[in-house]
Amino acid sequence: MILARIILGFLSLQPMTGYDLMRAFGSSATYFWSADKAQIYRTLATLVADGHARIETVPGTHGPDRAVHHVTPAGRVVLREWLASDPDRQPPRDAFLARVFFAGELDDAALARLIRSRRGDAVAVRDELMELRARTAHPDPRADRAGWLRSMTLDDGIRDHTAHIAWLDELLAELEEP
Amino acid sequence: MILARIILGFLSLQPMTGYDLMRAFGSSATYFWSADKAQIYRTLATLVADGHARIETVPGTHGPDRAVHHVTPAGRVVLREWLASDPDRQPPRDAFLARVFFAGELDDAALARLIRSRRGDAVAVRDELMELRARTAHPDPRADRAGWLRSMTLDDGIRDHTAHIAWLDELLAELEEP
DNA sequence: ATCCGCATGTAAGTGGTTACATGATTCG
DNA sequence: CGAATCATGTAACCACTTACATGCGGAT
């Protein structure tokens, strides 16, 4: 269960409520994982049941009480084991590549539309990531390794999208050639 | 349901049995989607129930009868609609990036081991894709557009892995610097 | 007053994985 | 004679998504 590990990772950086995690997945984690609240609350419950997290109830400042989750020592062990373990098996799932693979069925106009639409999305995501990198700190690997690693994951996303955009441009160039 | 569309795509290239599809997912489709047989047989059954595919039973040459599935005209419409439709929403899921994001917990040796292990996997996949590209034809976009598109999807995978390996090398270089 | 953000969850459904179950043919 | 490949499927479980359900406090 990768999601449980990721949540443990966030809690190890800072104790959080389910709602805080929702926002974390909507910002810092967007480019490597996503989770909706139903999943988050369910996973928090199992983490507590397994003794990997514990709840500290804090009176809510505006509304219901906040169930702030902390990692327990056992949870920290599980997190570290995951980080150092063999790679998670992750079968590839890329619906866009799948479409291109079968797009011989499509006429030229529809194909160009498909690729341009994808290009627009990819550029938007890349720009968003670049903005995020510009806004946040670039820590030195030796002074703040944890922060440096977090900023490097952003870098990978930016390069990834850049390479993909270049590939889309090649496709378009071939399609538009006389 | 993306899997149903992909299967429709394969059947549109050539009528196939569930077993044939298993092999197709194990070879041509490996770099953009994966599916195991339980899923394939279940999805074929729903395609037939929905009238998007029909079965032609052919006596087996060595073993049970082959249930060869053909796309129906209705199925072909559904496939073409998918190909031209708005992009499928696909939340990002990259367990390795997630690990790097939280890898501040890890000591230098464990971190380097993690990155080198990933590098090994990425190089292996890239080489496999490059071999596959060397072995297969590179059709001309104008003479055989469908074939050209299929070979281009391979290209994207190769570039993607190449960019990722370069990023991993940068990580390692920083870690090993005095 | 009404809407937005904070904060908690449950229920039902879909999609994906693992394990179980069977049997013929072909190659070494 | 045993292992691999061809060929079919079912059952149970796990992970993820969508929709439902509730209610306070602060801003416009």
B44 & B102 share domain = no
Residue B74 forms part of a structural domain: yes
Q: Which residue in chain B has the smallest CA separation from A108?
A: B145
**What 3-state class would DSSP assign to B55?**
strand
Q: Is B39 on the interface with A (CB under 8 A)?
A: no
Question: Does one domain contain both A52 and A101?
Answer: no
CATH number of the domain enclosing A63: 1.10.10.10
| Count of structural domains, chain A | 2
Write the DSSP symbol of residue A88.
P
A166 touches chain B (CB under 8 A): yes
Rounded to whole angstroms, the Cα distance separating A28 from A87 reads 22
Q: Which nucleotide is nearest to A16 (CA to C1')?
A: C7
Least Cα distance to B37 among B49, B54, B20 occurs for B20
| A:85-114 Cβ neighbours of strand C under 7 Å | 89, 91, 93
Indicate the pTM of the whole model: 0.94
Please name the residues in contact with A112: beta carbons below 8 A apart, sequence gap of 6 or more. Answer: A172, A175, A176
The pLDDT tens digits along chain A (178 residues) read 899 999 999 999 999 999 999 999 999 999 999 999 999 999 999 999 999 999 999 987 777 889 999 999 999 999 999 999 999 989 999 999 999 999 999 999 999 999 999 999 999 999 999 999 998 889 999 999 999 999 999 999 999 999 999 999 999 999 988 6
Q: Which two tokens stand for residue B28?
A: 């041509």
% helix, strand, coil for chain A, step of 5: 65, 5, 25
**Residue that finishes a domain, picked among A84, A112, A145:** A84
- A141 touches B at CB < 8 Å: yes
Q: Are residues A50 and A103 in the same domain?
A: no
- Give the pLDDT score at A60: 72
Mean pLDDT over each residue of chain A, to the nearest integer: 94
| Chain centre to alpha carbon of residue A75 | 21
Q: Return the residue matching tokens 């070979």.
A: B151
Any strand C atom closer than 7 Å to A17 CB: yes
B10-41 pLDDT tens trace: 999 999 999 999 999 999 999 999 999 999 99
* CB pair distance less than 8 Å for A152 and B166: no
**Segments forming the whole domain that contains residue B80:** 2-84
Closest nucleotide to B89 by C1' from CA: D17
